[in-house]
């Protein structure tokens, strides 16, 4: 498969989005990812739709397709003795376990962190929870939109204070998966030195707090409580979304020199009160925004964007997703990949966001695997485990035939 994580075996016990996204990131970089699903329908996200695509009786949820490329699917009934035994065989050979059960669920199944790491001390365990594995609210279930609200993200997102808006993708889940994969790679690197794995923990709460950035320090250092203020930056002005004659553009005027150049090009006041410095402009944001929109009112977007580029002002339009995926720049970065799906045939998927060296294909693999159908690889993976067990038994028999001095009989 190639890639920097080639040879790493990941057992993905997670479902929904945070854990599957983390495991997919590891698979994108070349790890072998075996996704363990329950026999009653598999990962919850297989049923999250519409939209569903595919032939009658074999439809797939596009939600599931979004976070499960580069994986194999194995169906195991963990309530049965055989299912638990097969999972134990997988974990004995795994490098990484990814799980996002509520605290205590794996313990009841007999696969507590203590048990699996005792059986395989080299195992790196990634555990993703909603609000942390401990603390006064550590047992709370984690759902993305609830976490967006509880972790403060929605309070700074929306048109104005008092009208919170969620981010348009499950950002808490996605960030938790990204932080989790980042922690796993660090733990695998450390294992080269120590010979032992480590438990990596993150949560939806931690992931969102981790990206508060300057909004966080506004409170922790300056004592200000940030509020939503729509599509304009709270600390830089003008920086945001503006109306032109026939559409919308976004601009970022990030320095005083650029402000002066921009203001001269569009006949805006430069040194008047409220306009002279960035701090003044932030304080008079409504006035500045109104002045910029008045200047843009006669400019169609098709002419305004080239003019802004000539002046040196970073600018862009607001694309719809169809425009994004058809955009040549998107495709030039390997961000759309083609894969062969077992029931859907040749399909396009959003691609991995990392390129290594100058490879045109994103991710670290030679080829990408389509998201699996439920149980698509059960027989192959169990046969592989059986062959490893037979090899291990033969090695044990040979060792037992040796005399105490290590000579052959």
Q: Which residues are catalytic?
A: 173
Retrieve residue 27's tokens: 């698979």
β-pair partners for 9: 32
Report which of 252, 233, 361 is spatially closest to residue 312, judged by C-alpha positions: 252
The CA distance from 353 to 359, in Å, is 13
């Amino acid at each position: 498969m190639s890639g920097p994580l080639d040879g790493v075996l990941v057992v993905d016990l997670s479902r929904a989005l945070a854990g599957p996204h983390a495991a997919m990131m590891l698979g994108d970089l070349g790890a072998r990812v075996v996704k363990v699903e329950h026999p009653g329908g598999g990962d919850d996200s297989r049923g999250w739709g519409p939209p569903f695509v595919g032939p009658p009786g074999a439809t797939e949820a596009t939600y599931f397709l979004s976070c499960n490329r580069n994986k194999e699917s194995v169906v195991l009934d963990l309530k049965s003795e055989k299912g638990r035994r097969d999972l134990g065989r997988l974990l004995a050979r795994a490098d990484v376990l990814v799980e996002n059960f509520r605290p205590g669920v794996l313990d009841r199944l007999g696969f507590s962190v203590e048990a699996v790491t005792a059986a395989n001390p080299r195992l790196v365990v990634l555990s993703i929870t909603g609000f942390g594995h401990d603390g006064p609210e550590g047992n709370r279930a984690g759902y993305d939109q609830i976490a967006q609200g509880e972790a403060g993200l929605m309070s700074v997102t929306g048109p104005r204070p008092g009208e919170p808006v969620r981010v348009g993708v499950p950002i808490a889940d996605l960030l938790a998966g990204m932080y989790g994969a980042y922690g796993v790679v660090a733990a695998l690197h450390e294992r080269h030195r120590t010979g032992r794995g480590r438990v990596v923990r993150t949560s939806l709460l931690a992931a969102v707090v981790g990206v508060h950035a300057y909004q966080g320090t506004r409170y922790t250092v300056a004592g200000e409580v940030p509020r939503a203020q729509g599509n304009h930056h709270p600390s830089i002005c003008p920086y945001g979304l503006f109306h032109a004659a026939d559409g919308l553009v976004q601009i970022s005027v990030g320095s005083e020199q650029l402000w002066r150049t921009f203001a001269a090009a569009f006949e805006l006041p430069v040194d008047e009160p409220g306009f002279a410095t960035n701090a003044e402009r932030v304080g008079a944001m409504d006035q500045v925004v109104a002045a910029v929109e008045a200047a843009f009112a006669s400019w169609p977007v098709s002419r305004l964007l080239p003019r802004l580029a000539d002046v040196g002002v970073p600018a862009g339009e607001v694309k719809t997703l169809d425009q994004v995926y058809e955009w040549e720049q998107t495709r030039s970065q390997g961000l759309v990949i083609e894969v062969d799906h077992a029931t859907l045939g040749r399909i396009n998927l959003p691609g991995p966001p990392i390129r290594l060296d100058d490879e045109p294909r994103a991710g670290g693999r030679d080829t990408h695997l389509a998201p699996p159908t439920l149980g698509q690889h059960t027989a192959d993976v169990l046969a592989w485990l059986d062959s490893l067990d037979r090899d291990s038994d033969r090695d044990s028999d040979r060792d037992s035939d040796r005399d105490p001095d290590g000579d052959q009989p």
